[in-house]
Amino acid sequence: MVQQATYRILISGGGTGGHIYPAIAIANTWMEKHPDSEVLFVGALGKMEMQKVPEAGYKIVGLPVAGLQRKLTWSNLAFPFKLMKSLSQASEIVKDFKPDVVIGVGGYASGPVLYAAQGKKIPTLVQEQNSYAGLTNKILAKRAKKICVAYPDMHQFFPEHRIAYTGNPVRKDILQLAGKREKAVEHFGLDPERKTVLVLGGSLGARTLNQGVLKDMKAFDRDGYQVLWQSGKFYFKDMLEATQKAQLKHIHLREFIKEMDLAYAAADLIISRAGALSVSELSLVGKPVIFIPSPNVAEDHQTKNAMAYVAHEAAVLLRDQEAVGRLKEKTDEVFDNPEKMESLGKNIKELAKPLAAEAIVNEIEQLIA
Do 261 and 221 sit in the same domain of this protein? Answer: yes
Over 80: is that where the pLDDT of 365 sits? Answer: yes
Do 232 and 150 sit in the same domain of this protein? Answer: no
CA distances from 87 to 80, 119, 287 (A): 10, 11, 44
Q: Is residue 3 part of a domain?
A: no
Q: What is the pLDDT of residue 51?
A: 94
Q: Is residue 97 part of a domain?
A: yes
User: Higher model confidence: residue 175 or residue 285?
Assistant: 285
Over 90: is that where the pLDDT of 369 sits? Answer: no
The tens digit of pLDDT for each residue in 56-92 reads 999 999 998 876 445 556 555 666 677 788 889 999 9
Give the closest residue to 204 by CA, choosing from 18, 2, 12, 8.
Answer: 18
Kindly give, in sequence order, each residue whose CB lies less than 8 Å from that of residue 301, ignoring residues fewer than 6 positions away. Answer: 130, 131, 132, 134, 276
Q: Is residue 1 part of a domain?
A: no
Do 159 and 201 sit in the same domain of this protein? Answer: no
In the predicted model, what is the mean pLDDT of the chain? 92
The tens digit of pLDDT for each residue in 305-327 reads 999 999 999 999 999 999 999 99
Q: Is residue 140 part of a domain?
A: yes
Which residue type, as a one-letter code, is found at position 192? P
CA distances from 240 to 190, 214, 237, 245, 270 (A): 18, 10, 5, 8, 21
Q: Is residue 299 part of a domain?
A: yes
Q: Is residue 148 part of a domain?
A: yes
Q: Is residue 224 part of a domain?
A: yes
Mean pLDDT of the region 285-301: 91
Do 150 and 218 sit in the same domain of this protein? Answer: no
Query: What is the spatial distance between Cα 259 and Cα 283, in angstroms, rounded to a whole number?
Result: 18
Do 144 and 195 sit in the same domain of this protein? Answer: no
Q: What is the DSSP letter of 288?
A: -
Over 50: is that where the pLDDT of 1 sits? Answer: no
Query: What is the spatial distance between Cα 58 and Cα 52, in angstroms, rounded to a whole number?
Result: 9
Do 195 and 104 sit in the same domain of this protein? Answer: no
The conformational region for residue 24 under phi > 0 = left, psi -120 to 50 = alpha, else beta, is: alpha
CA distances from 193 to 177, 189, 190, 336 (A): 19, 12, 9, 17
User: Higher model confidence: residue 364 or residue 84?
Assistant: 364
Question: What are φ and ψ of residue 167, in 5° steps?
Answer: 90, 175
Cβ contact 325:349 at 8 Å: no
Do 163 and 199 sit in the same domain of this protein? Answer: no
CATH value at residue 16: 3.40.50.2000
Do 215 and 119 sit in the same domain of this protein? Answer: no
Query: What is the spatial distance between Cα 292 and Cα 97, in angstroms, rounded to a whole number?
Result: 42
pLDDT band at 2 (very low <50, low <70, confident <90, very high): very low
Do 181 and 69 sit in the same domain of this protein? Answer: no
Which pTM was predicted?
A: 0.85
Over 80: is that where the pLDDT of 261 sits? Answer: yes
Over 70: is that where the pLDDT of 235 sits? Answer: yes
Number of separate domains in the chain: 2
pLDDT band at 3 (very low <50, low <70, confident <90, very high): low
Q: What is the pLDDT of residue 108?
A: 84
Cβ contact 302:275 at 8 Å: yes
Cβ contact 65:72 at 8 Å: no
Q: What is the pLDDT of residue 7?
A: 97
At residue 15, the 3 state secondary structure works out as coil
Cβ contact 202:229 at 8 Å: no
Do 199 and 344 sit in the same domain of this protein? Answer: yes
User: Higher model confidence: residue 303 or residue 203?
Assistant: 303
pLDDT band at 226 (very low <50, low <70, confident <90, very high): very high
Which residue type, as a one-letter code, is found at position 56? A
Query: What is the spatial distance between Cα 252 and Cα 40, in angstroms, rounded to a whole number?
Result: 40
Q: Is residue 37 part of a domain?
A: yes
Mean pLDDT of the region 204-223: 92
- Least confident stretch, 20-24, 189-193, 345-349: 20-24
**Residue 365: how many CA atoms within 13 Å on its side-chain side?**
12
| Percent residues over pLDDT 90 in the chain | 77
Do 48 and 188 sit in the same domain of this protein? Answer: no
The tens digit of pLDDT for each residue in 17-60 reads 888 989 999 999 999 999 999 999 999 999 999 999 999 999 99
CA distances from 84 to 10, 91, 99 (A): 20, 11, 22
Ranges of beta strands (E only) in the chain are 8-12, 38-44, 59-63, 101-104, 124-128, 146-149, 163-165, 195-200, 225-230, 251-254, 269-272, 289-291, 316-317
Do 261 and 122 sit in the same domain of this protein? Answer: no
- The whole domain housing 294 covers 173-350
Cβ contact 226:196 at 8 Å: yes
Q: What is the pLDDT of residue 170?
A: 87
Exposed/middle/buried for 339, CB within 10 Å: 0-12, 13-18, 19+? exposed
